[in-house]
Amino acid sequence: MKSFLEKKRIREYINKYNMINKGDSVILGLSGGPDSVCLFFVLLALKDEYEIEIQAIHVNHMIRGEDADEDEAYVRQLCKANDVPLKVLTIDIPSLAKDSGRSLEEEARFARYDAFEEAANEIEKAGKRARIAIAHNADDNAETVLFHMARGAGLDGMCGIAPVRDRIIRPLLEVPKSEILGFLNANEIPYCIDATNSEVDYDRNRIRHNIIPELLQVNERALEHITDMTARLSEIADYISLEANGLLQIAKSSENRLRKRAIATAPHVIASQALKEYLSQFMPYQKDVSAIHVESILGLLNAEGERQIQLPYKKTLIISYEEIYVVDEEEQKKNGTFNTREFAYEKGMKYPKEIYTKWFDCDRIRTNIVIRTRQEGDYLCIDSQGNRKSIQDYFVDEKIPRHLRDEVPLVCDGNHVMWVVGHRVSEYYKITDNTTRVLEISYTEE
């Protein structure tokens, strides 16, 4: 093990990214496969040097039947033999995937990481720093980069797997799979084989078994070069992210909105990252914000008028005349209460100054008043000469966002709009010296 650690510079890699500090508690995701078993022995070798506590977690996904049970039995024996505490979870991944609509692979990954994070939270409640050790290797990193390339990815996707993300650490990320297997075989350390990894029905397996061997034929150091490339790209991504956060601060408007001009005039690469980070705060996972969403937004920033782009989870991005913001379809519908009273008008009465309380000349009302949203043919009078403007034109001129136009309450006398609630009243119904009775209407939003 000492030779393996030194040859692969694992200790240097751990220190470079500050993966482990003295006294940490390390949670190891232990599947029983070669990668996690190798990491198990790496952590054991470093246990005294870093004064760490090791706890293993094994998740039986209930996917592979007896094979999964055998993996669990092996992990139990391995941890017992080396005096490592073990927590085993049995989770019905097929049932969860059926309910969520996710693939088995994705559902299993969510379940594992939830288990790791829960264990880490318990450790940190006790006052210790927790690290979650995952056994990704150089082959996994290359597969991820190639997978993202094939499916279409931005800079973040080309950075591959991060050595450190929050509490998650990956000490073997620069070690090729072949050298992990070589170490285990040379030391006669047994490990479990997942038969599904040899099938080429999955995209990642096709890359693993068909593409990576061809790349190694082109250059035996291909994996090393991909790892170096992802490290350099990660540095570039960090710089762009820093600039993007600066742009977001400059562009920030009220109520979590962005000034459109600030984004539209920024360099494309900075604006793209800024939009991605802005949108991700409205999504459960950053991956829900795709390059298609970002490019669609950038393509509409200089278009005239208002534009809308549908986002996942029933959210809509609004590109208004001056701002960019996100609305939630579930939250934007609002209800309110109208109250009215009628009274005799006397000259010198003081008009209400509240935005949501208005006076109207009763003598000018011709039909029963209806409170509704806009309809074709609606208009209001815009001056004392009786000139009219359609409600559609009024909304456009006042730059009322399109997604709100069907929600704005209107107080109507037929098609004549007496009051665009929250905005203006028609000149026709305003109080004059000839007014004898007043209708007061107030609106309270719930």
Predicted confidence band of residue 218 (pLDDT cuts 50, 70, 90): very high
Distance CA 411, CA 420 (A): 7
Are both 87 and 125 inside the same structural domain?
yes
Model confidence at 210: pLDDT above 70: yes
**pLDDT > 90: what percent of the chain?**
65
Are both 109 and 170 inside the same structural domain?
yes
CATH number at residue 290: 3.30.465.60
Q: Which of 92-96, 267-271, 396-400 has the highest mean pLDDT?
A: 267-271
In a domain, 237, yes or no: no
Among 440, 428, 421, 444, CA closest to 372: 421
Say if residues 421 and 411 touch (Cβ distance below 8 Å): yes
For position 35, what pLDDT does the model report?
96
For position 9, what pLDDT does the model report?
86
Measured torsion, CA atoms of residues 72, 76, 82, 87, in degrees rounded to the nearest 10: 90
Are both 303 and 349 inside the same structural domain?
no
CATH number at residue 340: 3.50.40.10
Record the pTM.
0.68
Are both 303 and 167 inside the same structural domain?
no
Are both 29 and 166 inside the same structural domain?
yes
Distance CA 89, CA 98 (A): 19
Are both 319 and 388 inside the same structural domain?
no
Distance CA 273, CA 267 (A): 10
In a domain, 141, yes or no: no
- Side by side, the strands of the sheet bearing 168-169 are 86-90, 53-60, 25-29, 130-133, 168-169, 164-165
Domain extent, residue 368, equals 336-445
Helices (H) and strands (E) in the chain, counts: 17, 18
Predicted confidence band of residue 308 (pLDDT cuts 50, 70, 90): confident
In the beta sheet, which residues pair with residue 416? Answer: 379, 413
SS3 label, residue 377: coil
pLDDT greater at residue 417 or residue 303: 417
Say if residues 24 and 52 touch (Cβ distance below 8 Å): yes
Specify the length of the chain in residues: 446
For position 285, what pLDDT does the model report?
64
Write down which residue in 328, 346, 374 finishes a domain.
328
Write down which residue in 147, 173, 194 finishes a domain.
194
Q: Locate tokens 């190639």: which residue?
A: 146
Instruction: Give φ, ψ of 98 to 5 degrees.
Output: -65, -40
- Alpha helices by DSSP H, 126-211: 138-151, 155-158, 177-186, 203-206
Say if residues 57 and 162 touch (Cβ distance below 8 Å): no
Write down which residue in 293, 328, 363 finishes a domain.
328
When divided into structural domains, the chain yields a total of: 3
In a domain, 71, yes or no: yes
C-alpha dist (Å) from residue 440 to 350, 354, 360, 361, 378: 13, 12, 6, 9, 22
